[in-house]
Structure 1
Amino acid sequence: MSSSNPDNVEEHSWSTGLCGCFDDVKSCCITFWCPCITFGHISEILDKGETSCVMNCAIYMLIYCLTSCACLYSCCYRTKLRQEFRLKEDPCNDCLVHFCCMPCALCQEYREPKNRGYNVEKGWEGNARQHSEVAMAPKVEGGMKR
């Protein structure tokens, strides 16, 4: 167990590797040209709709334009994603992964919820609506009869 796992909860491997861009070329291209979009999608899902994709995208761009260190913001969401899905801190510390290879890290983080059944592009509300429709029993007209 890693030092970032104080509760000794079993940690799992990521569904794809850090350099698994061939699994999803579309998201890799978007991330390469405009990483704030990918970050916005990831953060909205992880924040469970409390913040919007657009707002997080704007914050990311503002930090990037003012400091060129958006990795300090985005690495926090990598940690949040790992905790949410109980993932190993792999291949190294979250901040170091984002500092050295932020596009690859964002792509991997985008693929993880996608591989777990989320449609990341729909955002939190779209996924919540989809999952509630699946979980709800069909409505019976006129009540139950024998």
Structure 2
Amino acid sequence: MREDFKVIMAVVNQPGKYEPSEFQTGMLDCCDDIGICCFGYFCFCCLGCSIASDMGECCLCGLGMPIRSVYRTKYNIKGSMCNDYMVTMCCPLCTTCQLKRDINRRKEQGIF
């Protein structure tokens, strides 16, 4: 066998699987956590700042499509940027509360 001949093997499968997941609560499950629902209803901007703080972002970044997309990508949650835009434009309070509930649940599970 020649010394300068090397066998190169391609990696066909990555170790382990990281399946796409879903948000842990539905967008309209506001009654799952009344405290977050009231927090968002009475002080929507404060809820956004709380989310941004949890994610290590500027307080102004806590509301809307960008933070939702970043979160979804980080935790491999199914969806698209277009979907994030549409749901945050149609029901910003519900989607923001959903995001905060999901953050809190991941913190309780030790995976945030």
For structure 2, list consecutive stretches of 5 or more residues without a partner in the other structure.
1-17
> Given the alignment, which residue of 82, 90, 99 partners 1:100?
90
**Contact in 2 for aligned 1:46/1:80 (Cα 8 Å):** no
Amino acid at match of 1:105: T
* TM-score normalized by the length of structure 2: 0.71
Higher-Rg structure is 2
| 1:63-90 alpha-carbon deviations (Å, 9 max, x no partner) | xxxxxxx9xx621000011011111118
* TM-score normalized by the length of structure 1: 0.56
Matches within 5 A, 1:1-146: 10-47=19-56, 51=58, 56=59, 59=60, 74-89=64-79, 93-117=83-107
Equivalent pairs: percent with the same residue?
29
Q: Which residue of 1 aligns with 2:7?
A: none
For structure 1, list consecutive stretches of 5 or more residues without a partner in the other structure.
1-8, 61-69, 119-146
More helix by share: 1
Moved over 3 A (4+): none
Amino acid at match of 1:18: M
CA RMSD of superposed structures (Å) = 2.6
